[in-house]
Structure 1
Amino acid sequence: MRTIKAFPVLTAEEEHNYAKRLKENNDLEAAKGLIVSHLRLVASIARGYSGYGLPQADLIQEGNVGLMKAVKRFDPDRGVRLVSFAIHWIKAEIHEYIVRNWRLVKLATTKAQRKLFFNLRSMKTGEGSLKPDQVARIARELKVKPEEVLEMESRMGGHEISLENNSDDDEDDKYSPIAYLQDTQLDPLEKLAETQNDHIQTEGLALALESLDERSRRIVQARWLQEDSNVTLHDLAAEYGVSAERIRQIEQKAMQKMKGLLSEVA
């Protein structure tokens, strides 16, 4: 903290000059000047999150990451000071760090849950459980459901438990959480393959069809992409006034082109 306080606060003109040098010349010394002059801002914001039981130094470190992201994106020609722009980025990084580390099993995953997570402590008055009128007030102010307030209060007040049995009794192992928390989903490699296949079948197929001319696209869709399609080569030949063999050639050429594009997407 003594080191942080030793760095001078920049004037508006100095800040603008540093930011212009960084933006136009990628001057890392200018970036450093912007960062160190705002370290006290990070420390001040981090102090506001001391109630989560996480090391203050780690909170500041995460806030510094947010500050660096803000400096990288800061546009000096917007007419605003860096301090106003950086606050959002600093808080965002600290929030992410708290959510990742405050509990082994994550508490806040949706936007509404995060809002509750970071505001429930300060809005709660008194000890003990929330009263019905308090629940209603908090739900109204945060624009969430009362049951979501109660659920978050319960989860924040819970205790962490060990996933594995700490005793030497092997018989107790089958009753430890790790024994019944097995993930039955696909393993990561299979999941990745499934996701990639879905991507090919949707976005890749759409791009491949768009690459065809109108007649080729019509033939492929009629022959292969319509459910319960019984369109024959002769039907399409009559539609376009050409021979069935010509339709077959167009179809074959279109399928080869699509196959090449789909292999690139894969």
Structure 2
Amino acid sequence: MSATFALPVPSSTGSLEQYIQAVNRLPMLTQEEESELATRYHDQNDLEAARRLVMSHMRVVVSIARGYAGYGLPQADLIQEGNIGLMKAVKRFEPSRGVRLFSFAVHWIKAEIHEFILRNWRLVRIATTKPQRKLFFNLRSMKKNMSALSDSEAREIAEDLGVRPEEVLEMETRMTGQDIALLADDGDDDGYAPIDWLADSEHEPVRQIEKKAVDRLQSEGLHEALATLDARSRRIVEARWLADDSGATLHELAAEFGVSAERIRQIEAKALQKMKAALAA
């Protein structure tokens, strides 16, 4: 459904703020209008009705996506993922059950955003089971204050979420842990830093030869894998994953190629799969 009709995205409106202002100006639907449009879509495959249902609830996606700003991911990408969840909700929505689309869509919007965060935020990759995911997304709100959890608090949260207290404490450590500087402060000439206690084997001749060989093989393998892609796919992969800075967003590339952000994501996924197959060959 997302590829069938056009929806506003930040790249097409000029900026994220302009996009938010645009979707906030879209009219909300009454329950009668919502029911009529949903019936037209499901009974007659009326895509214009589906488009109106989606657009009238895009402000909901923006509101939900703002709640995930603390994970360090682009807000525009979070909104785009939430819009995908909204479209899935519209596709499955049945007005005959007496539930408003807003209430029904919240689950699908959050689920899509959660999956995006799990795929892209490195600390969350340990959350592979449903209880662990629930723990990650609820731990911050369940803590009573900013101080470290006590054993009794960890046991209480673990019981509520169906995980072990050890998992609660480990997740808290990962989410709140601070980076430790390996080097001593410039003004601390007499002190020792963690780097002083680490063995340095990188400059051994054998290690240097091995490292150069591995670097050469990896570089050649990556070059060969990229060579299997068409020009557009290669540009997307390089801009997203091989750039020196933080990399381009889906919306920036969508604007560059004149397609939707969802189409860019599909091309990216297919390209990475093709590269993985080439590297494994």
Q: Per the shorter chain, which TM-score range?
A: 0.5 to 0.7
Instruction: Give the equivalent residue in structure 1 for 2:127.
Output: 108
Provide the residue aligned with 1:256 in structure 2.
none
- In the TM superposition, residue 157 of structure 1 has moved relative to its aligned partner by 4.0
| Aligned pair partner of 2:105 in 86, 111, 121 | 86
Q: Report the Cα offset of residue 108 of structure 1.
A: 0.8
Q: Give the alignment's TM-score, normalised by structure 1.
A: 0.58
SS at match of 2:29: coil
Map of 1:39 onto structure 2: 58
Compute the displacement of 1:74 (Å). 0.9
Quote how far apart the aligned CAs of 1:37 are.
Answer: 0.1
Checking the alignment, whether the CA contact within 8 Å between 1:35 and 1:67 is kept in structure 2 is yes
For the structure 1 residues 28 and 126, does the alpha-carbon distance in structure 2 shift closer, same or farther, using more than 3 Å as the test?
Answer: same
Alpha-carbon distance change, 49 to 173 in structure 1, aligned in 2, over 3 angstroms: farther
- Shift of residue 152, structure 1, vs aligned partner: 1.6
Larger Rg: 1
Aligned residues: 170
**Distance in 2 separating the partners of 1:172 and 1:131:** 47
CA contact (8 A) 2:124 2:136 kept: no
Shift of residue 34, structure 1, vs aligned partner: 0.1
| Equivalent residue, structure 1, for 2:93 | 74
Q: Specify the SS of the correspondent of 2:171.
A: helix
SS of the aligned residue for 2:125 comes to coil
| 1:115–1:173 distance in 2 versus 1, CA, 3 Å | farther
Structure with bigger RCO (C-alpha 8 Å, 6+ apart) = 2
Q: Report the counterpart of residue 171 of structure 2 in structure 1.
A: 152
Aligned match of 1:213: none
Q: Percent identity?
A: 62
**Which of the residues 23, 39, 43 maps onto 1:4?**
23
Contact 2:118 2:124 in 1 (8 A): no
Task: Give the superposition deviation at 1:129.
Answer: 3.2
1:124 CA drift (Å) = 2.4
Q: Could you tell me which residue of structure 1 aligns to residue 5 of structure 2?
A: none
Structure 1 pair 81–126 and aligned structure 2 pair: CA distance change class (3 A): closer
Distance of aligned partners of 1:28 and 1:119 in 2 relative to their CA distance in 1, 3 Å threshold: same
Structure 2 counterparts to residues 1-266 of structure 1, below 5 A: 1-103=20-122, 106-157=125-176, 171=207
Name the CA shift for 1:147/1:173 in 2 (closer, same or farther; >3 Å): farther
- The alpha carbon displacement at 1:100 in A equals 0.8
* Paired residue type of 1:17: E
Kept in 2, the 8 Å contact 1:108–1:117? The answer is yes
Q: C-alpha distance in 2, partners of 1:158/1:172?
A: 33
Question: In 2, distance between residues paired with 1:58 and 1:121?
Answer: 22
TM-score by length of 2: 0.55
Is the 1:99–1:106 contact (alpha carbons within 8 Å) kept by the matching residues of 2?
yes
Cα separation, 2, equivalents of 1:174 and 1:154: 35
Taking structure 1 as reference, are residues 51 and 172 closer, same or farther at Cα in structure 2, changes over 3 Å only?
A: farther
> Aligned partner of 2:55: which letter?
V
Question: Hey, what's the Cα distance between the residues in 1 that align with 2:96 and 2:210?
Answer: 63
Kindly provide the amino acid, as one letter, of the partner of residue 45 in structure 2.
N
Distance 2:37 2:56 in 1: 11
- Give the conservation status (yes or no) of the 8 Å contact 1:135–1:149: yes
Structure 2 residue runs without a partner (length 5+): 1-19, 180-201, 216-281
